[in-house]
Amino acid sequence: MTSTLQHLREIVARLRAPDGCPWDREQTPQSLIPSLIEELYEVIDTLDRADYVHLREELGDLLLHIVLQVQMAEEKSLFTFEEVIAELCEKLIRRHPHVFGDVPAGDSTAVLKQWDEIKRAEKGGIARTQSLLASVPKSFPALLRAAKLQHKAAKVGFDWPDAEPVYAKIDEEIAEVRAASITGDSRQIEDEIGDTLFSVVNLARKLNIDPELALQRASDKFAGRFAGVEALARERNLSLHDLDLAALDSLWDEVKQKKHAIS
């Protein structure tokens, strides 16, 4: 294992060497961000599909990005690969005293509470002056960031008691979107739609639903049904561009009924 990882590090260092690959040498930590995000989503995709044959490959691509980032840091004498691993090991041991120490933790809820307490203690004075929400990265996908912000606020009691008030809040936000749309003020409309989406994320959280996963599955369902509409149109020698909304809706309903019949 160690020799294999070392071999990978040597390959990456060679690619970054003056006589290495021009593309790899041109990269910076920032330039690799888009492809890093892409690789992460490809890992998630294989996990969603339980495609363990390709998961191995995608995890390798993600690991390559980690090694590349560390290599670039080593080139600037910022930190080493060994320091990254050592810090991770120390953190894992420190934040699991119920495993590596003698502090009891009966269930996962107690473990998470203990983890947060240890994390706050690690930050010391910074944690006392910094916002509770400051630890949620702005670079998170919007739905994930909204859910994380709400979860953090809920930990100190800033939360609806149950899902029922959230329904009323969503109705209120939709009414405000409608009112804003009448003004034609795009900034105001954007604000109200944002508030509505934020409230919907809150509802998902209260109902123990992952909003990102829910929207992904809704998008998959839409894409699948639309593909069915296209297939029906081809079978009947119809062009989607020539059909009006009523005809397209009719095809959509037909596909939807077939899907229900199969399920």
Domain ranges of the chain: 2-93, 102-129, 142-209, 212-262
Would you say how long the chain is, in residues?
A: 263
The more confident residue out of 115 and 181 is 181
Q: Which residues contact 79 (CB under 8 A, 6 or more apart)?
A: 70, 73
CA 200 to CA 204: how far, in whole Å?
Answer: 6
175: part of which helix (H) or strand (E)?
A: helix 164-183
Query: pLDDT tens digits for 248-262?
Result: 999 999 999 987 766
CA 95 to CA 112: how far, in whole Å?
Answer: 10
Q: What pLDDT shows up at residue 128?
A: 60
DSSP secondary structure, 6-60, as one string: HHHHHHHHHHHSTTS-HHHHH--TTTTHHHHHHHHHHHHHHHHTT-HHHHHHHHH
Evaluate whether 2-93 and 142-209 have a shared fold.
yes
Q: What pLDDT shows up at residue 104?
A: 86
Q: Which long-range contacts (CB under 8 A, 24 or more apart) does 148-151 make?
A: 150/201, 150/202, 150/205, 151/205
> Model pTM?
0.67
Q: What pLDDT shows up at residue 125?
A: 55
Share of the chain above pLDDT 90, in %: 75
Residue 116 three-state SS: helix
Q: What pLDDT shows up at residue 227?
A: 96
Q: Which residues contact 162 (CB under 8 A, 6 or more apart)?
A: 206
Residue 170 three-state SS: helix
DSSP secondary structure, 57-88, as one string: HHHHHHHHHHHHHHHHHHHTTS--HHHHHHHH
Share of the chain above pLDDT 70, in %: 95
So what's the architecture of 2-93 in CATH?
Answer: Orthogonal Bundle (1.10)
Q: What pLDDT shows up at residue 2?
A: 63
* pLDDT score of 263 more than 60: no
The residue behind tokens 């390559």 is: 64
For residue 46, the tally of other CB atoms under 10 A from its CB is: 17
Query: pLDDT tens digits for 61-112?
Result: 999 999 999 999 999 999 999 999 999 999 999 999 999 988 888 788 888 8
Mean pLDDT of the region 223-228:
96
* pLDDT score of 124 more than 80: no
Query: pLDDT tens digits for 126-184?
Result: 556 678 898 888 988 899 999 999 998 998 899 999 999 999 999 999 999 999 999 99
So what's the architecture of 142-209 in CATH?
Answer: Orthogonal Bundle (1.10)
